[in-house]
């Protein structure tokens, strides 16, 4: 698989098979991803990989917190803005409406919405979960570097016919993650990620997210 094919075939998968992924395969993916760029080669990322009992314990604890409404707001981590501009709010709503439309979840159906959102916290049934952190004293540039590392992980996974789903949703439920994975207190969670083999029969995996026209985001000068 060449790099263009990897980019074009990468999608955020929201239903996985329970087929195991070997530690050796994950190690190969992460070794490739280590070639991701970072400012002055600081490589400010850490990644914690869970499967089996550890994965299941995290899932159980976080799903319990989710059901009880116990969470920490994104704004504590300055993760998302307190108010969205219309252009970004519309993009967020668009993917939500498209996904829920496929799943037959109508606007205002809180029970089904809750159930679907909860699936974040079982990694959408993927057998492997990854959590990406950086050292808490580092700035926004390092968070950007972690994003470059994550993107490289997702593209490298395609070489092995694996799919992924980056998940900011875990940010709200950090305590069990830090506990079960022995993450030091001087690190901050940037994102989670599901990894596994796509369930091709799941309708939600037919979702194709929209992209802006190039003319709306690319600004050429001097050509």
Q: Distance between CA atoms of 64 and 122, rounded to whole angstroms?
A: 11
pLDDT at 7: 96
Q: In the chain, what is the greatest distance between 2 CA atoms, to the nearest angstrom?
A: 57
Residue 146: exposure state from Cβ atoms within 10 A (0-12, 13-18, ≥19)? buried
Q: Let me know the angle formed at the C-alpha of 89 by 167 and 82, rounded to the nearest 5 degrees.
A: 75
Tell me the average confidence (pLDDT) per consecutive run of 10 residues in the chain, 223 residues long.
94 97 98 98 98 98 96 80 92 92 91 94 98 95 97 98 97 96 96 98 95 95 98
22-53 burial string, b = 16+ CB within 10 Å, else e? eeebbeebbeebeebebeeeeebbbbbbbbee
pLDDT of residue 66: 96
Residue 44: closest CA among 150, 130, 178, 129: 150
Helices (H) and strands (E) counted in the chain, each on its own, are: 8, 4
pLDDT value for 82: 86
Structural domains of the chain, ranges and CATH numbers in brackets: 3-82+120-208 (3.40.109.10)
User: What ranges make up the beta strands (E) of the chain?
Assistant: 46-50, 128-135, 163-167, 187-196
pTM of structure: 0.95
């Amino acid at each position: 698989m060449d790099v263009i094919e990897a980019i074009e075939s990468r999608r955020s998968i929201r239903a996985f098979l329970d087929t195991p992924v070997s530690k050796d395969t994950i190690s190969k993916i992460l070794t490739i991803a280590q070639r991701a760029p970072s400012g002055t080669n600081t490589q400010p990322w850490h990644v914690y990989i869970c499967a089996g009992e550890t994965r299941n314990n995290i899932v159980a604890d976080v799903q319990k917190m989710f059901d009880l409404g116990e969470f920490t707001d994104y704004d504590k981590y300055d993760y998302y803005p307190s108010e969205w501009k219309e252009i970004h709010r519309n993009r967020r709503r668009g993917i939500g409406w498209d996904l829920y439309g496929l799943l037959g979840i109508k606007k205002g159906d809180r029970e089904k919405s809750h159930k679907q959102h909860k699936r974040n916290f079982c990694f959408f049934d993927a057998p492997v979960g990854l959590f990406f952190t950086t050292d808490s004293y580092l700035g926004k540039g390092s968070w950007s570097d972690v994003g470059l590392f994550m993107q490289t992980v997702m593209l490298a996974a395609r070489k092995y016919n694996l799919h992924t789903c980056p998940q900011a949703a875990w940010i709200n439920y950090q305590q069990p993650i830090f506990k079960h994975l022995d993450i030091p207190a001087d690190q901050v969670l940037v994102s989670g990620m599901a990894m596994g083999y796509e369930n091709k029969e799941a309708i939600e995996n037919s979702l194709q997210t929209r992209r802006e026209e190039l003319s709306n985001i690319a600004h050429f000068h001097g050509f």
